[in-house]
Every structure is written in structure tokens, then in C-alpha cells.
């Protein structure tokens, strides 16, 4: 067995895959051009050797800390959290004695207060991750954490700081002003595509994950797409392109929702990572499909009823690993009504329930592709990240939209800044005044 996609339930007969598949030659040519131009570092990973050297240099320094506090949001946080939860579950278990990774990806005053009250500054390394170097949610937390560090450590505060940022922006200036160790977010590598750079690899290294295996897995999947000789036949057989054709044909057929159902429970947070990747990349010009992260078996007792018998507008990526550990055994003596599990490994339960749910979804008309992993190891995670990232980019191309930008989310950010009194933004301020002074329909409940 190896890592596979099982297309048996994909419903290819019902969908018009051909209209996308026939574009393989055009897409292959575009891939050759954009990878050649350096526009797709997510696939070409030109930064890899340098990153490995930088990580090697950092390893010892990171080991001297008990805590890492990561300040970042969106693509600067979700990949790191998925890796943490998948490969470092011990932090959520009794008796853990470190290291600890804390990911601050919100602007919740209570949470930040909690970190500042409880973390020991001298044993904490703060990693501020922002490609633009100016995201207020991240930089805002940085200002407060910097003061906290300074108060306790004095001039040594800089030693406990790391930045991961782009070529320019506030963090880059700050890094130069204070001589703070800074690793790059490579040019053209957008936040949600950046987990395989220092963005995700610094926290992964801190936790002791096998970063090399993860990156090698990703390279293995991405490499064929970066071949300057890539042709339509090779692309047509690449699973990322097949997924893209499927994703596009699903949207064309009115499947407005795409479930990411993880039956590797520790990989549940890849659901949030994927949701951001798919939603921010493809929700454009009235097009796209809504990603829905779900985790087996927990969500069988929650949202699965809707998946099975709600609107018939859902498709599913179903993530499994038949080789998950068996865990403890059920006792040999059990009440008669539970004798069907007697003496069996506990792991049989999730395998059987995964199979049952997958079949039920298919029987209820949900087109489904199973991503079946040989192991739940870092190499497999790297492969999945590359597969889904590439599939997302290619789906965007097939939809005729730009999968690398996110213009619509800017409006809310501008309005929030206007509300806080930032310079300029006159139209937004006018809009705000109108919104806030309009009559409201308010009722008590």
C-alpha cells in the first residue's frame, strides 16, 4: 500500500470532468511559464536549501526555550497549528512537561492577558510571523509582547524574538532597527501557501518534528508539476490536476459545499488549514465552493445529519489512514449488547465508523474522493499539503480566477482601521458614519 486517492465514489459519470480535463495542455503550458518565472514558489520551493541551513542554525537556540509564543494569523498560523496538533498531541495530554507552543492568532484580550500572566519571559521565544509585516492583529500583539519582554529582560528582549516576514514592511524595518533574527517569507509565497517555509517550519522544528521528511513529501508531489518539459499527458495523470478538474466540475454542477472529513482525528486541524486555503483562494467573482472542515467520528454526532440528508449540494474529501494505531483492547467480558466489540482493538471502532460514514455519504449521493494515507507520518502530511495546495491553484486557473489573492477581505480591514482613526480612509469613514447613524431595528429577547 502507498498513499492513494480512491476515486470510486467521485461520481465522475454524473460530472462534466472532460471540459476541464481537456484544458490540460493550456494548464501545463501555464505551469511551465509561471514556475519558470518564479511565480509559484509553493511548487518550486527554490528556498529549500537555504531554509534547511537556517533551521540547522536555529535548532540549538530554539532548544534553550521551554515555550514558543507564535504571533500570526490566517496563513501565518493555521499550518503551524495543523502540524502541532497532528504530530505533537502531547501538549494536550496530561503530564506534559514541555516544550509548549502557543499560537496567538486572534486579538482576544483575555487570551493575551493569560499568556503574559503565565509565560516566563526568559524561557519564551516569541516568533512574529507576517508576510506583509504589517497585519494589525499580529503587529498589535507584537507591540504588547515586546513591552512585556522589555520590562522583564531589559536590553536582552531582542534575543528572545524571531521574525518571519517578507522583504519589506514594518517587521522588516523593526528587524533592522533592533538586529532581530529574521527568516524570510519567500517572494510570491502567499500566507496560505506558506506552511512549508519558515512560517510553518520554525514552530515544527521547535516541537521536534521531522521537518526534512515533511519537506521531502511535499517535493515528491510538487516536483512533476515544475518540470520544464511538463506535458498534457503527465499533468492529466497528476492527482492534483484530477482533483482540480473534479472540484471545478462539482462547482459547475451546483455542488456549493466541499466537506473535508478527517478520519485521522489528530489531523483534524488540517481541516481549518484546508478551509482557509480553498475559501480564500477560490471564493471570487461569485464563484467557488464553501469548504467545511469536519472530524470523524465526532462530527457523526453533530453535522453529519446535514451532510447526509440536507441540501444535495455537498461533495467530500474523505481523509483516512487504515494503519492508525490499534490502541488498547476492549475487555473480553462485556455486556451482551456490546459483545460485537469484545476483545477487539479499540482502533477497529474508528475504522468501522469511517467505512460506515463513507458508504452512507456515497449512498446519499455525496460525490466523494478518499485520500487514503499509508501512515499518519510527517512525509504524508507534506504530500497532502502539496497535493491540496496544487489542486487549489489549478482549480482557480480552471475557474478563471486568481487563486493567489484575497481582495474582498480588505474592505472589513479598512473599515476597522477607519473606526480606529487611522489616517486617510475618508470614504470608509463616511461609510462608517452613515452606517452608525442609520436607524436600527432593535428588540430585546
Residue positions annotated with a catalytic role: 280, 301, 413
* Number of Cβ within a 10 Å radius of residue 35: 21
Q: Which is nearer to ligand PA5, 135 or 240 (CB)?
A: 135
Nearer to ligand PA5, 218 or 369 (CB): 218
| Interface of this chain with ligand PA5, residues 215 to 244, rule: CB under 6 A | none
Chain length of the chain: 445
- Is the Cβ–Cβ distance between 264 and 319 less than 8 Å? yes
Do residues 171 and 130 make contact, with C-beta atoms less than 8 angstroms apart?
A: yes
99 binds ligand PA5 (CB under 6 A): no
Q: Which is nearer to ligand PA5, 141 or 249 (CB)?
A: 141
The H or E element that residue 162 is part of is strand 161-165
Least distance (Å) between residue 163 CB and ligand PA5? 11
Site string for ligand PA5, 263-302 (x = CB under 6 A): -----------------x----------------------
Among 54, 84, 124, 138, binds ligand PA5 (CB under 6 A): 138
Residue of the chain from 23, 67, 85, 131 that contacts ligand PA5 (CB under 6 A): 131
Number of amino acids touching ligand PA5 (CB under 6 A)? 14
Residue with the CB atom nearest ligand PA5 in the bound state:
191
Continuous segment of H or E residues that includes residue 149? helix 136-153
Q: Is 74 in the site for ligand PA5 (CB under 6 A)?
A: yes
Minimal distance, residue 291 CB to ligand PA5, in Å:
14
Q: Is 236 exposed, middle or buried (0-12, 13-18, 19+ CB in 10 A)?
A: middle
Query: Quick one: which segment of 92-100, 131-139, 200-208, 302-310 binds ligand PA5 (CB under 6 A)?
Result: 131-139
Residues 6+ apart with CB under 8 A from 366: 259, 307, 308, 314, 315, 316
Of 76, 84, 380, 392, which lies in the binding site for ligand PA5, with binding defined by CB under 6 A? 76
Cell numbers for 386, please give them: 502539496
d(CA 193, CA 172): 20
How far, in Å, are 34, 64, 252, 390 from residue 395 at the CA level?
15, 43, 12, 8
Contacts with ligand PA5, 44-73, as mask; x by CB under 6 A:
-----------------------------x
Q: Binding string, 369-408, against ligand PA5, x = CB under 6 A?
A: -------------------------------------x--
Least Cβ distance, residue 434 to ligand PA5 (angstroms) = 27
130, 226, 362, 395: which one binds ligand PA5 (CB under 6 A): 130
Q: Does residue number 304 form part of the binding site for ligand PA5 (CB under 6 A)?
A: no
Beta strands 368-372; 4-6: pairing state: antiparallel
Give the number of other CB atoms < 10 A from CB of residue 39: 15
Angle formed at CA 204 by CA 238 and CA 51, multiple of 5 degrees: 70
Q: Which residues of 118-127 are buried (b: 16+ CB within 10 A; e: fewer)?
A: ebebeebbbb
Does 132 bind ligand PA5 (CB under 6 A)? Our answer is: yes
Q: Is the peptide bond before 408 cis (omega within 30 degrees of 0)?
A: no
175 binds ligand PA5 (CB under 6 A): no
Contact range with ligand PA5 by CB under 6 A, out of 128-136, 174-182, 214-222, 419-427? 128-136
Chain residues that interact with ligand PA5, rule: CB under 6 A:
73-76, 130-132, 135, 138, 190-192, 280, 406
Amino acid at each position: 500500500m502507498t498513499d492513494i486517492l480512491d476515486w470510486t465514489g467521485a461520481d465522475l459519470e454524473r460530472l462534466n470532468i472532460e471540459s476541464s480535463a481537456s484544458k490540460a495542455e493550456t494548464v501545463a503550458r501555464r505551469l511551465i511559464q509561471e514556475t519558470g518565472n518564479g511565480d509559484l514558489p509553493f511548487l518550486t520551493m527554490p528556498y529549500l536549501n537555504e531554509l534547511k541551513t537556517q533551521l540547522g542554525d536555529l535548532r540549538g537556540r530554539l532548544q534553550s526555550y521551554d515555550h514558543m509564543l507564535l504571533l500570526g494569523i490566517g496563513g501565518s498560523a493555521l499550518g503551524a497549528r495543523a502540524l502541532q496538533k497532528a504530530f505533537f498531541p502531547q501538549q494536550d495530554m496530561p503530564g506534559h512537561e514541555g516544550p509548549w507552543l502557543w499560537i496567538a492568532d486572534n486579538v482576544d484580550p483575555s487570551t493575551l492577558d493569560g499568556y503574559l500572566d503565565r509565560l516566563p519571559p526568559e524561557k519564551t521565544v516569541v516568533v512574529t510571523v507576517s508576510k506583509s509585516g504589517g497585519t494589525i492583529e499580529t503587529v498589535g500583539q507584537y507591540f504588547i509582547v515586546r513591552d512585556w519582554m522589555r520590562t522583564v529582560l531589559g536590553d536582552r528582549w531582542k534575543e528572545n524574538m524571531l521574525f518571519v516576514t517578507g522583504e519589506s514592511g514594518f517587521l522588516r524595518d523593526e528587524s533592522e532597527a533592533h538586529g532581530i533574527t529574521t527568516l524570510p517569507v519567500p517572494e510570491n509565497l502567499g500566507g496560505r501557501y506558506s506552511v512549508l517555509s519558515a512560517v510553518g517550519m520554525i514552530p515544527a522544528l521547535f516541537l521536534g518534528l521531522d521537518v526534512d521528511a515533511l519537506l521531502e513529501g511535499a517535493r515528491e508531489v510538487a516536483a512533476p508539476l515544475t518540470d520544464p518539459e511538463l506535458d498534457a499527458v503527465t499533468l492529466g495523470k497528476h492527482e492534483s490536476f484530477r482533483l482540480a478538474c473534479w472540484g471545478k466540475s462539482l462547482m459547475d454542477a451546483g455542488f456549493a459545499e466541499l466537506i473535508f472529513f478527517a478520519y485521522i482525528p489528530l489531523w483534524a486541524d488540517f481541516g481549518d488549514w484546508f478551509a482557509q486555503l480553498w475559501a480564500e483562494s477560490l471564493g471570487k467573482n461569485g464563484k467557488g465552493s464553501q469548504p467545511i472542515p469536519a472530524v470523524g467520528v465526532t462530527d457523526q454526532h453533530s453535522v453529519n445529519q446535514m451532510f447526509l440528508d440536507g441540501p444535495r449540494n455537498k461533495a467530500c474529501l474523505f481523509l483516512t489512514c487504515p494503519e492508525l494505531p490499534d490502541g488498547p483492547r476492549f475487555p473480553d467480558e462485556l455486556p451482551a449488547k456490546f459483545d460485537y466489540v469484545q476483545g477487539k482493538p479499540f482502533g477497529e471502532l474508528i475504522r468501522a465508523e469511517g467505512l460506515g460514514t463513507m458508504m452512507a455519504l456515497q449512498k446519499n449521493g455525496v460525490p466523494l474522493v478518499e485520500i487514503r494515507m499509508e501512515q499518519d507520518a510527517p512525509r504524508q502530511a507534506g504530500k497532502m499539503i502539496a497535493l491540496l495546495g496544487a489542486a487549489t491553484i489549478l482549480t482557480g486557473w480552471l475557474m478563471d480566477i486568481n487563486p493567489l489573492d484575497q481582495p474582498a477581505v480588505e474592505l472589513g480591514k479598512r473599515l476597522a482601521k477607519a473606526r480606529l482613526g487611522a489616517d486617510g480612509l475618508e470614504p470608509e469613514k463616511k461609510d462608517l458614519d452613515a452606517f452608525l447613524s442609520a436607524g436600527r431595528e432593535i428588540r430585546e429577547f
